[in-house]
Amino acid sequence: MASSTLSAPVMQKDIHGWNPCARISSNDRVNSHRTFNCSLSTNTVRKPLFFRAHPASICPRHVSASQRYWLDTKKFPVSCASKFQLDDVIESQQFDTDILNGIFEVAFEMERIEKNSPGSNILKGYLMATLFYEPSTRTRLSFESAMKRLGGEVLTTENAREFSSAAKGETLEDTIRTVEGYSDIIILRHFEGGAAKRAASTATIPVINAGDGPGQHPTQALLDVYTIKREIGRLDGISLGLVGDLANGRTVRSLAYLIAKYKKVKIYFVAPDVVKMKDDIKDYLTSMGVEWEESSDLLEVASKCDVVYQTRIQKERFGERIDLYEAARGKYIVDKKVLDVLPKHAVIMHPLPRLDEITVDVDGDPRAAYFRQAKNGLYIRMALLKLLLLGW
């Protein structure tokens, strides 16, 4: 492309080339009218997988809170417009395989950044707010680590249900309207299903669902699928065993929605009667042409699977029915007996935390992938932060 003359703040360079939505440096002023030349060729600008937004809608929502400015869109070259296709990450159904492949490419790039350098400054000056109304270790810390490794800063509330104005009766919508004034992106974990969708409909900045009650956990599903790809080498044609609390587990629900986008997948459900997979997921899989089967024999299923995805029985979802919890807990355990029948190429995954549903003597087996899986969460979340705030 020929050089274009733009009247706008100086653009910063990210890992894929010049990004018009990137944070301006502290030496540049928002109200400067410096004119400069930007030579943009197809070799230096990564094209989006598909472009659905009008150029006029590209930047304002994703410019950092402390230095918002409006670009002169009439002089904005379309080839500079590399907006991510999603404004928020709320549920697994938002993604198609093209977007997933693109995210995984960026995640792999983030893996190289994390391993081969002290970090990156592509999100320098951006602020991420983490609002967690439920306990979290891996999700919250991996998001905060992701932001800091990309040069950004973090505003955090570890137990928003108890130590925020929610304890005084403030609505989620009012909290979101307030917090978005202090930050550029919100990471939300909530105890109510559908809370993330409510937050996204209220916010004018990106919202990422970090788990909403028994609903969904889309970033966990993304890192799960990324892990399967990295460990097994393919996503089409895999056999996947989902084990444990399938009724209350938002991780398995999101994973089922996401893996259904691939070809010739077969899913086995192995769960105690009180926590079997719900019909909405089964109906969805059937509508997508995905073969699924329920079984009570973990050893038989493990012998057929590329991936055994174990989950804990979630005591917090049973309320006062502790008797039901005790009846379900411990029924299906991944131990040495499972390893003996598990194919050599297969892996065992778990969203963590675990209790006793995977015995510790399994940890030393190379097919135990759950701690590698947790580390992959960092790369996926780095990728999502980069994409939502800066685009492709």
Write out pLDDT tens, residues 184-208. 999 999 988 899 999 999 999 999 9
| Active-site residue identified among 16, 130, 139, 219 | 139
pLDDT band at 138 (very low <50, low <70, confident <90, very high): confident
Q: Is 217 considered catalytic here?
A: yes
pLDDT at 23 over 50: no
Average pLDDT for 71-89: 60
Write out pLDDT tens, residues 356-370. 999 999 999 999 999
User: Distances from the Cα of 363 to the Cαs of 154, 241, 331, in angstroms?
Assistant: 33, 19, 20
Greatest mean pLDDT among 11-20, 67-76, 245-254, 264-273 lies in: 264-273
Higher pLDDT, 234 or 325: 234
pLDDT at 215 over 90: no
Pairing of strands 291-295, 307-310: unpaired
| First-to-last C-alpha distance (Å) of the chain | 18
Angstrom distance (rounded) from CA 148 to CA 55 = 29
Q: Is 168 considered catalytic here?
A: yes
Q: Which residues contact 175 (CB under 8 A, 6 or more apart)?
A: 131, 160, 164, 165, 166
| Active-site residue identified among 52, 74, 115, 168 | 168
Say what the pLDDT of residue 225 is.
98
Query: Side-chain half-sphere of 291: how many Cα atoms within 13 Å?
Result: 9
Q: Is 234 considered catalytic here?
A: no
Place of tokens 């590329």: 306
Spatial CA neighbour of 78 closest among 97, 53, 49, 109: 53
| Active-site residue identified among 46, 149, 190, 217 | 217
pLDDT, mean over the chain? 80
Write out pLDDT tens, residues 280-317. 999 999 999 999 999 999 999 999 999 999 998 877 76
Angstrom distance (rounded) from CA 209 to CA 254 = 11
| Active-site residue identified among 16, 62, 189, 312 | 189
Average pLDDT for 138-163: 85
- Tell me, yes or no, if the pTM score tops 0.85: no
Write out pLDDT tens, residues 41-55. 333 333 233 323 333
| Active-site residue identified among 138, 266, 315, 317 | 138
Say what the pLDDT of residue 226 is.
98
Residue 5, H or E segment: strand 4-7
Higher pLDDT, 79 or 191: 191
